[in-house]
Amino acid sequence: MKILVISHEYPPIGGGGGQVVADICAQLAARGHSIHILTALFGDQPRIEEQGHLRIERVPSCRTQSYRAGFITMACFIVRSTLRGLRIIRAENPDLIHAHFAVPAGAAAWALALLTGKPYMITAHGGDVPGGAPQKTDRWFRYVLPFTRPFWKKAAAVTSVSEQTRRFARQHYPVNIQVIPNGIDINACQPGAFNPTRPPRILYVGRFSPEKNAIAVPQALARLKELAWECVMLGDGPQMTEVNAAISANGLQERIRLTGWVDPQEVMRWMSASDILLMPSLLDSMPVAGLQGLAMGLALVLSDIGSCPEYIDGGRNGFLVKPGDLDGYANALRALLNDKHLLANARAASRQHARRFDLAKAIDDYETVYKKVAGGH
């Protein structure tokens, strides 16, 4: 099939959702589908890349930050991707349009469907639905919500990456939504040895934003000064100043390293050299970093939210903690840091549990939806 994919996030820009899009498209192309991706241009990235059946095309979108897209950036992307999408559809005649993120890609897909008659589907990732990332999007959803309803209503199919995202979406959009969980290419993830490093390394991966609760990392680790550990925090965002201040206030400058935003390949390199993944989010749907941590054989300390309970295999590979419970995060970390055998076993158990989330199953499900969308049209 020929599929036009629209997503404002795609590596190396954006977060976990963009990596999900890249993984799905790569697997679809490997199965012989012709995939043309329209995404946002940032910095000195190439405008066009060809990778076998995969064509990546980047359009200018006023983007000024690699880790986030503001309201103006999204509006600009809608206009640019719609205009470019028209030319692609006329030249390539794709079977359907797949919009990743209901906003902004869903708006572009809806406009293209009106102009060309091509069917489209939407995949919601979490922050693109009201309530999915309240600190980040609730303010502008107050104004744009009425304008987003046609995107959902006119879509030939709608999927979401988690039951939580589906639940949030159904509160505002009365459409059928199929859950297709994110997957991970197990074979592409090569973990290091499961024996803990010396000292054990704790890793945080994600935006430094209120919903991800990055500030909790130094606050929890301040309770573990007597133990041997080091921490690396990958990411950037509005909480960076607060995180830096918390590190300094607790005298952890020599033990917590901030790298800033890094590309997906660098994330995997850090995972291969780490032992524990700490994710103290207050709100999340199906965090990709959690899947990557599983596949890379990291012990997990996660907030008990969204799909995170599915990442924990009966306590064998880590701990679930009540969101925002600093003592809970610290106690879970203490248990792993104090027992190297428990830590090694948890790492091995994560790698084994990751097979439950094999990306091939998600691709099978997407192919089934594609056939229905294109066949119905």
Per-residue pLDDT of 145-178, as tens digits, reads 888 999 999 999 999 998 888 998 999 999 999 9
Domain boundaries, the chain: 2-183+359-376, 186-357
Please write down the HEC assignment for all residues of 57-93: EEEECCCCCCCCCCHHHHHHHHHHHHHHHHHHHHHHC
Task: Look up residue 159 and give its DSSP letter.
Answer: E
Per-residue pLDDT of 204-234, as tens digits, reads 999 998 989 999 999 999 999 999 999 999 9
- Asked if 2-183+359-376 and 186-357 have one fold, the answer is yes
**Average pLDDT over the chain, rounded to an integer:** 93
Q: Which of 92-96, 144-148, 260-264, 368-372 comes out lowest in average pLDDT?
A: 144-148
186-357 CATH choice from 3.30.530.20, 3.40.50.2000, 3.40.50.720, 2.40.37.10: 3.40.50.2000
Per-residue pLDDT of 233-256, as tens digits, reads 999 999 999 999 999 999 999 999
How would CATH label the architecture of 2-183+359-376?
3-Layer(aba) Sandwich (3.40)
pLDDT value at residue 128? 85
How large is the angle between the packed helices 326-338 and 340-353, nearest 10 degrees? 110
Q: Where are the beta strands (DSSP E) in the chain?
A: 2-6, 34-41, 48-51, 54-60, 96-100, 120-124, 157-160, 178-179, 201-205, 230-234, 256-260, 276-279, 299-303, 318-321
